Structure 1
Amino acid sequence: MNDALKQARQFIEAIPHSRALGMELESMGDGTATISMPYDTRFVGDPATGVIHGGAVSALMDTASGAAVITLSAAATATLDLRIDYMRAATPGQRIRARAECYHVTRSVAFVRVTATDEDESRPVATATGAFTVEQPKGA
């Protein structure tokens, strides 16, 4: 595993809310990351339906996006902007997966697209676009 991928994995594992939400890194590549989170009744936003709160979904999407940026040899990143469109409620009881990809990178900003799905990958739960800082390693 190259240094950028190791750093991306450490980035996710070091974030307290990522651990608290049970996020798991599934895959990483050059400017991409897939992270999932299991269904957990602690994160239900509507007890009547059992649907996961949108805040948990947004945290997953934000974390996947940051991980995608880190794979580009960035020393660190921060969210500048994340615009989310919620398309439907995630199905109660199902794992949610966020797939992020950097589609344009400048010296200081990475632009990311991310899609969250449950087991029905043909119907997104949410999509987002965002801008993230790109902090280069010291001496780079």
Structure 2
Amino acid sequence: MSIEQRARNFLSVLRHCQVLGMTVEQADESGLVIKLPYSELIVGNPVTGVVHGGAITTLMDSCCGISTVCYLDDFEICPTLDLRIDYMHPAEPGAPIFGFAECYRVTPTIIFTRGVAYQHSREEPLAHVVGTFMRMGKGTLESGQVRPAAGGAA
């Protein structure tokens, strides 16, 4: 199975990502790009239409977490240990937001990720993110289910 298909499978089992309409735009050895379309569901200020910061946090936590499939040989359960987001400026109302994430270090127990949220160009980020994820072992994605390896926790 290709890296992109593994990323799509991972995203497809995350209900909050489905509700928000997120899609995998790119997934390969260089990292992952996920698109969050603009909708009323993510508006934080109904007067201005500005996107709520929580929607960007959801996008970037999901993007960093799913980026692990770009670097690991097999799917592993990797919950978020820590996520730091530095917001640079608000998102433009009406336009989709993209999240890019890459793993920059993989150890036997921790995966370190970094990325940006942007609309028009990665060089003009809305936010910078760094995240760490705990490796809990191999699991499988079958029939929309995430199953931990034997003895692992979900």
Answer whether TM exceeds 0.5 for this pair: yes
Contact 1:46–1:53 (CA<8 Å) still a contact in 2?
yes
Report the CA distance between 1:120 and its aligned residue.
4.5
Q: Does 1:13 align with 2:3?
A: no
Give me the whole-angstrom Cα distance separating, in 2, the residues matched to 1:31 and 1:108.
21
SS in 2 for 1:84: strand
Gaps of 5+ in 2: 139-148
CA contact (8 A) 1:79 1:133 kept: yes
Equivalence for 1:41: 40
Q: For this pair of structures, how many residues does the alignment match?
A: 138
Residues 20, 41 of structure 2: 8 Å contact kept = no
Secondary structure at 1:76 match in 2: coil
Where does structure 1 differ by over 3 angstroms across 4 or more consecutive aligned residues?
4-7
| Partner of residue 136, structure 1 | 137
RMSD: 1.8
Does the aligned pair in 1 maintain the 2:35–2:98 contact within 8 Å?
yes
Deviation for aligned residue 1:136: 3.0
TM-score, normalisation: structure 2 = 0.82
Cα distance 1:117–1:24, how it changes in 2: closer, same or farther (>3 A)?
same
Matched residue of 2:99: which SS? Answer: strand
The reply on whether 1:94 has 2:95 as its aligned counterpart is yes
Contact 1:74-1:134 at 8 Å conserved across structures? no
- Calculate percent identity across the aligned residue pairs: 38
TM (norm. structure 1) is 0.90
Give unmatched runs, 5+ long, in structure 1: none
Q: C-alpha distance in 1, partners of 2:88/2:76?
A: 33
